[in-house]
Structure 1
C-alpha cells in the first residue's frame, strides 16, 4: 500500500501514476477537499478536521511493505519506526539511518523561527527537478517494498 499524506501534497498525480503503473493500491488521506479518483487502485480517506488526525490515521496503519509519502517529519519518524518505507515529496528517502538527523534539524529550525519573529520566507519552491526526483524515488521504493513482500 502507498499512503499519501495528501493535505498540501504537490505530487498526488505523480504518485497515482506510479501506483497505476506498478498495480499498487494507494490511499490519499486528508481532511477533505480532494477530488475523488475513478482509478480503482485509489482510495480517498477523509478524516475529521483536527490537529494531526490524518497523520495519526497513517501512522496507525503503515508498516512493513508500505510506502508513505509525507512532508511531516514526526509522522515520517513514526512510520520509519513501524517499518514502512518513507519519502518526502521532493524524493528524499527517510530511513532509520537519517530520520534522527532530519528530526533534529526540523526542531532546530522551529526553534530558530520562533526566536526571530521577523524572519520571513520558507523553503525553496518546489521544482520540476523535485518532481522528477520524486517519481524515480517512489518507483524504486515501491519496487523494493514489493520484493520485500515476496
Structure 2
C-alpha cells in the first residue's frame, strides 16, 4: 500500500501531517506536482514532478496508483477515477470518499461549475479549520491502522 498525494493544491499543514505519518509508519508517500515541493530526505517520502498542464498530475496518479493505495486529493473527478480503480481517496478536510458518496459529490461539483460558468460568483473554499485538520489526521490514522502492515 502506498499513499499518493495530489500535491499541487495540498495545504502545507496536510503535507506536514502526511510526512509525520510516513516517518512514523514507514509507508511510502509520493507527492505528485508540477512544481518543486520541499520534502525531507527520507527513503519512503518521494516527489514526482510532472510537466505543467491541465490534469497532468491527476493523470499520473491514476496511472500509477494500485488497488488498495490511498490518494489524498480535493479533486473530486480524480477521487472518482481512483475509486473506480480500487484505490481509496481522502480529502484534505478529512472526508473519505466512497463509491456510495462520490456520485453525489460529482453532481454538486458539476452544478457549482455550471453556476460559475453562468457568471455567478460562488467563492472558493474556506481555509482549513482546526477541526478539519484533526479530522484529516484521524481519518489517516484509522486508514493506516486498518490497511498498512
* TM-score, length of structure 2 as denominator length: 0.92
Structure 1 residues without counterparts, runs of 5 or longer: none
Distance between the aligned counterparts of 1:19 and 1:65, measured in 2? 17
Equivalence for 2:118: 115
Equivalence for 2:139: 137
Equivalence for 1:83: 86
Distance between the aligned counterparts of 2:67 and 2:141, measured in 1? 17
- What SS does the aligned partner of 2:63 have? helix
- What SS does the aligned partner of 2:148 have? helix
- What SS does the aligned partner of 1:4 have? strand
Structure 2 residues without counterparts, runs of 5 or longer: none
Distance between the aligned counterparts of 2:124 and 2:143, measured in 1? 28
Equivalence for 1:17: 20
Equivalence for 1:98: 101
Equivalence for 1:57: 60
* TM-score, length of structure 1 as denominator length: 0.91
> How much is the aligned-residue C-alpha RMSD, in angstroms?
1.4
Could you list the structure 1 runs, at least 4 aligned residues long, displaced by more than 4 angstroms after superposition. Answer: none
Tell me how far 1:65 sits from its aligned partner. Answer: 2.0
Equivalence for 1:45: 48
- What SS does the aligned partner of 2:71 have? strand
Distance between the aligned counterparts of 1:53 and 1:116, measured in 2? 27
Tell me how far 1:62 sits from its aligned partner. Answer: 1.3
